[in-house]
Amino acid sequence: MMILLGVAVIVVGFAIRLNPLLVVVLAALTSGWFAGYSPLKVIAAFGKAFNDNRLVSTAYLVLPLVGVLERAGLKERAAKIIAGLPGVSVGRLLISYMAIRQVTAAAGLVSIAGQAQTIRPLIAPMAEAASEVRDGPQDLKRRYAIRAMAAATDNVAVFFSEDIFVAIGSVLLVVGFLTSSGIALDAIKISVWAIPTAFAAFAVHAARLLLFDRRLKGLAKP
């Protein structure tokens, strides 16, 4: 049971707001110590885990690119383009993005867009510009609400559509867990049942976005 002290280290470390990476390392060293592993063996396990999952870190390569594009005026250009389109509202724009995001996620292209790649530099500024044209000047309360809804739209689209792709990690995890528990289940069945869930998620969130268009007018203005 002393091995579980690593969990206590994580709880205490996060409670006192220590650096998350430091907390995880201390927790691993604590559990490793009581499990009879030397510090070098624990660090070697960290290295092996990083090497086995190194492709996960490739997503960080997009951050410098986004920074360069923002410095070159990407956000301003995107806002200018959307402001010139008549009849565009925040809700309609985000509904269109959600549809595209769900289709690409269902095809397994989960990393083709996301919070860092599209929401922050493109979709959120475009939504703010659409609201400014339609509803007037923006204050911080309205801008933050639009940014939050843009981020939520991306999360909803991916979360409820990625399981349609049969080779996605979440589907394989469910199949593997059920198989280890003696329950035989084909991955294709999970993918098929994910389709109506994705449609339902689209309908519900699209309704929320249309209602969000109405609420924007009621938010405080400067």
Average pLDDT score, the chain:
83
Residue 204's Cα: distance from chain center in Å?
19
Q: Which tens digits make up the pLDDT trace of 140-150?
A: 888 899 999 99
Asked if residue 2 lies in contact with residue 12, where contact means CB atoms within 8 angstroms, the answer is no
Q: Structure pTM?
A: 0.67
pLDDT exceeds cutoff 90 at 17 = no
Residue 20: CA atoms inside 13 Å, Cβ hemisphere, count?
0
Separation between Cα atoms, residue 32 and residue 26, nearest integer Å: 10
> Across residues 180-190, what is the average pLDDT?
82
Counting every residue written for the chain, the total comes to: 222
Residue 107 host element (H or E) = none
The residue ranges of every structural domain in the chain are: 2-52, 62-160+196-216
